[in-house]
Amino acid sequence: MAHDIERDPAEKKAEPGAMSARSFLASLAVLAALMLVAGALTLVVPSGSYDRVPGPDGGLVVVPDSYAPAARPEYPAWRWATAPLEVLASEDAALAIVIIAFIAVVGGAFALLKEAGVLEASVRSLADRFKSRRMALLAVLCLFFMAIGSFMGVFEEVVPLVPLAIGLSLSFGWDVFAGLGMSILAVGFGFSAAIANPFSIGTAQRLAGIPVLSGSGFRVVAFVLVYALYFSFMASYVRRLEKKGLGSTKGLSGFASAGAAESGFASAPPANAGDRVPAGQVPRAEAASVARGVRFFGWSSLALAALVAASSITRIGSDLILPVIALGFLVIGVGAGLSAGLRPAKAARSFASGALGVLPAGLLILMALSVKRIVVSGGIMDTVLYAASGLLSDASKYGAAGLMYAVVLGMNFFIGSASAKAFLLMPVLAPLADLSGLSRQIAVQAFAFGDGFSNMLYPTNAVLLISLGLAGMSWGQWLKKTWKLQAATLALTMALLMVAVAIGYA
């Protein structure tokens, strides 16, 4: 019997991994509004620029006190509408193309795994093993994903694991959001509570001229407190689901239940299964084929995870990690599907269907990147930075620390990359910390806090949009479920920053 599930209608009846039309249109409207706001700002905010020189890692670094007004560039309003296309001819073109190709390949690979029954069987095995210890598994998964964001700077690389986390969540009778919460949300919060993240902490400390990975004691405390807040939110959420009757201990019942079907992640019957019989009564030949696919899936996934971990630790091949992961999942999907007995023609059709199902998210990604494109083309990016630095110079120690945090939060709306933001902001924030009587370590901590959890809030973050697209959830639905956690995390991290000022954190 299906549970009586309270769900947003927009989450119902989407294809597995595909974004529903309503979710797509809602996200499209939000990003279109942001593009209009960015364009309007280019008409009223004066243009200006900082001088830049090569930094220690080869990137361009802002020269403090070099800001000068500049003539407003010729940037007609009609180009606001063409900005998503202009992204493909900008410095962000490679990033946009790689990400769009990435989500198409990963979406196709997971559709193939679903069609062959491999994903269902893999999640069933894990769910059955932990069916009596689900909260313990939730705690471990949340900690794991937060830790890899905090220590290794893993972020985009987690996207392929999002459908698996959602499948596991549904197998426990939870919902799509719980799967997103235990995976991509955890990684974003790990970035906020970074301990040794080479992209945020490491790069910012190098640019600030202080020992790399110094001051870790305070950051460990921050990590523990942020994890406690985040996990209490997740535990409370899944307990509410179970009280409403969604929780189940029937192994993979979530995939067959109305809850899974309505979420858009109901598992399609394998192509080689014919009329699907109940679990445990599957013909031996078919079960043996699926088992071969599961083994291929498991071992090849472990090999890919080891490769990603090695790249994250050594930074070898880090610039190519997304294409490598996409290629890895192509091999995993095709290999596991064929091992499970899926015919090549059917495998190709399943892959194509899955790839096309997530491609609408590509337009959203281009629109998200176009917000930055409009602001830069309008010549006001450095003006916004200069105005923020003027506020900092007149503030008290506590006010300066809070304003540093606010500046990074604001710039994170336009620039998602932690290292790119560090090259832009730290050459300005570090000397401003000196002028305000703050340690540069506090400036780095303000940068880390501002760079982190808001990645899971702003609709201009490509990784968030990819994950929501794979889950079939709109940004508005995501905001409705997470805004209280976001507000609590903002309050906690701001309080921690004030404590850092009070104790003279250095």
pLDDT tens per residue across span 164-206? 888 888 888 889 999 999 989 998 899 888 887 777 787 788 7
Predicted pLDDT of residue 9: 40
Q: What is the dihedral of CA 61, 66, 68, 74, to 10 degrees?
A: -20
Which of 136-140, 306-310, 460-464, 484-488 has the weakest average pLDDT?
306-310
pLDDT over 90 percentage in the chain: 16
Exposure class string for 104-137: b at 16+ Cβ within 10 A, else e: bbbbbbbbbbbbbbbbbbbbbeebeebbeebeeb
pLDDT tens per residue across span 424-470? 677 677 777 776 778 889 999 999 998 877 888 888 887 888 888 87
Task: Work out the angle between the directed axes of helices 397-414 and 360-377 (0-180°, nearest 10).
Answer: 130
Q: What span, in angstroms and rounded, lies between the C-alpha atoms of 442 and 497? A: 7
Q: Confidence class of residue 216 from pLDDT cuts 50, 70 and 90?
A: confident
Give the chain's mean pLDDT: 77
Instruction: Give the pLDDT mean for 385-409.
Output: 82
Give the side-chain half-sphere CA count within 13 A for 284: 0
Domain ranges of the chain: 23-69+85-502
Predicted pLDDT of residue 8: 43
By the 8 A CB rule, do 179 and 169 touch?
yes
Q: Confidence class of residue 288 from pLDDT cuts 50, 70 and 90?
A: confident
Helices (H), 193-283: 203-208, 216-243, 253-256, 258-263
Q: What span, in angstroms and rounded, lies between the C-alpha atoms of 138 and 127? A: 11
Length of the chain in residues, anyone?
A: 506
CA angle 368, 63, 94 (to 5 degrees): 30
Predicted pLDDT of residue 471: 83
Q: What span, in angstroms and rounded, lies between the C-alpha atoms of 102 and 99? A: 5
Secondary structure E strands in 1-126 = 48-49, 52-54, 60-62, 68-69
